[in-house]
Chains A and B, each alone.
Chain A
Amino acid sequence: MTVQHDPSVYERIQAGEQFQELRRRYRSWAFPMTIAFLVWYLLYVVLSGFARGFMGTKLFGNINVALVFGVLQFVSTFLIAWAYSRHAAAKLDPIADELRDGTESRDEVGEGAK
């Protein structure tokens, strides 16, 4: 079941300061971070292709740079996922909740189940 909102409700919210702040907080975190992890990953792939001497350097025992670099990709993936969930819970969810609940409770226009 879905509540249908009048289209003007969305335009009104979109123009509002609160939504613009939500949008800014989301994009200014997610977009640069996406570029960062893609560059970090591509660096790893390019080095695996073109810098095998460096990747083969042994660090301790039989553990070489390639293995450590690969494991670091796992570590960075886990950390970025964790950081995003913290960011979203602290900075995004409260505004999203306020906008949604505020609109749903005082929304008189165009209500009705689909």
Chain B
Amino acid sequence: MSHETLSTILFLVFVALTLAITFWASRNTKSAADFYAGGRSFSGLQNGLAIGGDYMSAASFLGIAGIIALSGYDGFLYSIGFLVAWLVALLLVAELMRNSGKYTMADVLAFRMSPRPVRTAAGVSTIVVSIFYLLAQMVGAGALVGLLLGVHSQAGKIWTIIAVGLLMIIYVVFGGMKGTTWVQIVKAVMLMVGAALITLLVLGKFGFNLSGLLGDAATQSGKGDAFLNAGLKYGTAAQGTWGKIDLISLGLALVLGTAGLPHVLIRFYTVPTARDARKSVLWGIGIIGVFYLLTLVLGFGAAALVGSKTIAAADKAGNTAAPLLAQKVGQDIFGDVGGTVLLAVIAAVAFATILAVVAGLTLASSSSFAHDLYAHVFKRGAATERQEVVVARVAAFVIGAVAIALSIFAQSLNVAFLVSLAFAVAASGNLPAILYSLFWKRFNTAGAVSAIYGGLISAVVLVIFSPVVSGAPTAMFPDADFHLIPLSNPGIFSIPIGFLCGYLGTILSKEYNASKYAEIEVRSLTGLGAEQATGH
């Protein structure tokens, strides 16, 4: 049997299992709290796994391993930003959000503000961030099927995007938060087991001598010691000082973006108490941290055992580094059959990874559409729970369909930058609004609206005029050139702009509600009046 057939079978087993979970979840999804927040009945460990499943995208599994395999140390820089970011979520956001919100990020932002403008801004930002992220994942899925299953035709890629899109729509429409969470838990376990297995085999080949592994990686890469240091991908010598500032800008967006990503934030509502939210982030940090340490070994292992040249020949971005490594160590240790099996396993895990992440994104955006825009902006809070859930399901279908269409349109474009753009928007618009809401007494409607739009617009505009959109061979539109700024990552400008807009908007408006601030402050720190779990 070829690895393509075996991968497809394994993947279909995953799809069958997750569809079974989805239909079980759909029978237990009745109220709005079930659909949006899984009845708030997940344990800290379950939600911690789901956080890992939601967060460890194909970009971080295949992408980071690939960057390390081709450019060495720079891939590690990426993963450190992704991990440290969780401390912002743990210390400042998770518990307080759980105590003061209900279903969406906007619940916290609109708590003491005029609801319509704030919910509109938060809804727009949620949908924009989620769609950016979604597009990058779905276009990536189309490219991956070519690499992993040997489907290179245009039609094959388009059908893959459609299939991924339809599955994610089914998970969300029928399973709601319950189904999506279980899909993420299953995926997180598969990904951790798969990555740990390959890591052990790789380390075993080097007699658990990390220094030996690094030495071979440096030699095989053809770049020597530079391979073990920063600077082959980000802030290279050729890019000069701007390149190094770009690296810092990326680092800022990664570390501050996570705690402002809507699909991450709504995970805190799925547990019964703030203490469980804390536990789930602790589990999440443990799982995500171990995972990134595994990808470090996978990336350097791929460079050492497969060789950077072979990896670059298979895919310019190095996305097949981890699967090729799985095949190589499988072959070396268990023979040809072993190689085929391991490659198939890792390919199936990669697809499971994409599905779990896109489902989380679709859920976050459809929840925000139904709860923020439909129920509170259009209906001014007069919608029934039942209507809200129906609208959320329809929205999931529509957003899924739009994402499929946009991904098909964008599949020949280089849209990998959309992931870091999503982080930059979350760090520049959402995070200032969240932190000010929770901690600044004087904060008001004008401040919240200015922070969100200021951060969102400045990040997007800076990226439109950056080399990732035009004026470079790797740009989204390589043949056009309207770039004005030498930075690919807007964070270093847009994050301060977001915070500043929030500050100025606030002090230029007289609005201020002391009693609502007392409520959110007491509620966020004590859990008094917080939403309770629904029992079944």
Residues of chain A whose beta carbon lies under 8 Å from any beta carbon of chain B: 1-5, 7-11, 13-14, 19, 22-23, 26, 30, 33-34, 37-38, 41-42, 44-46, 48-50, 52, 55-56, 58, 60-64, 66-67, 70-71, 73-74, 77-78, 80-82, 84-85, 88, 92-93, 96, 99-100, 103-104
CB distance from B246 to the nearest CB of A (A): 9
- Asked if B231 lies at the interface with its beta carbon under 8 angstroms from chain A, I say yes
- Which B residues between 499 and 531 are near A, CB-CB below 8 angstroms? 514-516, 518-519, 521-523, 525-531
Expressed in whole angstroms, the Cα–Cα distance for A8 and B518 within the complex equals 9
Rounded to whole angstroms, the CA-CA distance of A63 and B174 in the bound complex is 50
The interface residues of chain B lying within 8 Å CB-to-CB of A33 are 91
Task: Please tell me which one of the listed residues A11, A38, A66 contacts residue B255 in the complex, with CB atoms under 8 A apart.
Answer: A38
When chains A and B are docked, how far (Å) is the Cα of A64 from the Cα of B518? 51
B528 adjacent to A73 (CB under 8 Å): no
A60 CA to B214 CA, complexed, in Å: 12
> Is B529's CB under 8 angstroms from A37's CB?
no
A30 to chain B, nearest CB (A): 5
Q: Name B251's contact: one of A42, A81, A104 (CB within 8 Å).
A: A42
A84 and B90 contacting across the interface, CB-CB below 8 Å = yes
Distance in angstroms between the alpha carbons of A34 and B214 in the assembled complex: 33
Decide yes or no: A45 and B247 within 8 Å by CB, A60-B211, A66-B229, A66-B230 being known contacts: yes
Return the CB mask of B268-280 against A: 1 if under 8 Å, else 0. 0000000100110
Which residues from B are CB-within-8-Å of A81?
86-87, 90, 281-282, 285
11 contacting pairs across A/B (C-beta < 8 A):
A10-B518, A10-B519, A46-B248, A48-B231, A49-B230, A49-B245, A61-B215, A71-B293, A77-B86, A81-B87, A84-B90
B147 within 8 A of A: no
Task: Give the distance in Å from the alpha carbon of A86 to the alpha carbon of B16 in the complex.
Answer: 41
Whether the Cβ atoms of B526 and A99 lie closer than 8 Å is: yes
Q: Does B235 interact with chain A (Cβ within 8 Å)?
A: yes
Interface residues in B41-87 by Cβ distance below 8 A to A read: 73, 76-77, 80-81, 83-84, 86-87
A44 and B229: CB pair below 8 A? no
Contact B528 A30 (CB under 8 A): no
Q: Report the separation of the CA atoms of residues A64 and B231 in the bound assembly, to the nearest whole angstrom.
A: 14
Q: Which of B84-136 contact A (CB under 8 A)?
A: 84, 86-88, 90-92, 95
Contact A55 B248 (CB under 8 A): no
Residues A66 and B73 in contact in the complex (CB < 8 Å), given A1-B534, A49-B244, A56-B228: yes
CA distance A86 to B510 in the complex (A): 41
With known contacts A62-B228, A64-B229, A7–B526 Cβ distance under 8 A? no
Q: Given the complex of chains A and B, what is the CA–CA distance between A104 and B532 in angstroms?
A: 13
Check B88 against A34 for contact (C-beta < 8 Å).
yes
Choose one: B80, B90, B248; the contact of A70 (CB below 8 Å).
B80
> Do A77 and B87 touch across chains, with their CB atoms under 8 A apart?
yes
Asked whether B211 lies within 8 Å of A63 as measured between CB atoms, the reply is yes
A10 to B532, CA, bound (A): 18
Once the chains bind, are A22 and B526 in contact (CB under 8 Å)?
yes
Contact with A along B226-238 (1 / 0, CB 8 A): 1011110011000
Contacts of A13 in B (CB 8 A): 518, 522, 526, 528
By a CB distance below 8 angstroms, the chain B residues around A7 are 515-516, 518-519
With contacts A11-B515, A63-B214 taken as known, whether A30 is within 8 angstroms of B92 at the C-beta atoms is yes
Cα distance A36–B230 when bound, in Å?
23
CB distance from A32 to the nearest CB of B (A): 10
Bound: A42/B83 CA distance, A: 14
A64 and B228 contacting across the interface, CB-CB below 8 Å: yes
Contact B88 A1 (CB under 8 A): no
